[in-house]
Amino acid sequence: MSDRTLLIYGASGHAKVIIDIVERAGRYRIVGLLDDDPQLQSEKFFGYPVLGGGERLAEESYPDHRLVIAVGDNFARREIWRRVEALRNFQYALAVHPAAQIGREVQLGEGTVVMANVAINPGTLIGRQVIINTGATVDHDCLIGDFAHISPGVHLAGNVQVGELTHLGVGTAVLPGVHIGARSLIGAGAVVIGDIPDGVIAVGVPARVIKQRSQIGPGGADDPSDHSG
């Protein structure tokens, strides 16, 4: 195991997957987790101590640790990132499962998580704090914006663009060259054959916009179809 140390922000099911990735990859040694839920603090989570809430990141006792934000909801993840940035300038680790296939000239932004059996093909650019979830495929020359979540089993053809904070539900398929806007939600199992604008919910085969995604609470979950892993 590496002597490079890592903190994980968030003690949830998503964090369990990230812990497993980090352990298998062997690039970092996990020193503990942070979570803002007082009931989780001072407890063990998946074998590691929950050291406290996010305010502990301001302490000088964490000068050299890298950080991964283990929160699946895009808007909550961005809010935590903003709070961390206001405290101090942390470096974020990449968490890439050894069973992921990363092609030539692929760029992964800071804090991005790539899970098991993912394939990302050449020329793809992925922003910061993105989740590429289990078994997803991202073909050549795609562009994935910051804080996006590509759920398990999603398949993106070549030259697809996905805007920041957008969530593609489990099993979504997107045809070549399609542009999906920022802050949108694509329901599980949708087939996207044409461009999708910013800030909408789209579902079905083919995917059709059913409403504006205008009421987004602190956790970002504004619709039952948002439960997509």
CB 149 within 8 A of CB 167: yes
Q: What are the φ/ψ torsions at residue 11 (nearest 5 degrees)?
A: -115, 90
Determine the Cα–Cα distance for residues 19 and 174; give it in Å rounded to an integer: 30
- Name, in order, each residue with C-beta under 8 angstroms of 1's C-beta and a sequence gap of 6 or more: 26, 29
Determine the Cα–Cα distance for residues 77 and 79; give it in Å rounded to an integer: 5
Please tell me which residue in 65, 140, 155, 167 is annotated as part of the active site.
140
Determine the Cα–Cα distance for residues 202 and 20; give it in Å rounded to an integer: 32
Determine the Cα–Cα distance for residues 203 and 221; give it in Å rounded to an integer: 16
Active site residue 140: yes
β-bridge partners, 126? 108, 144
**Hey, which residues are catalytic here?**
140
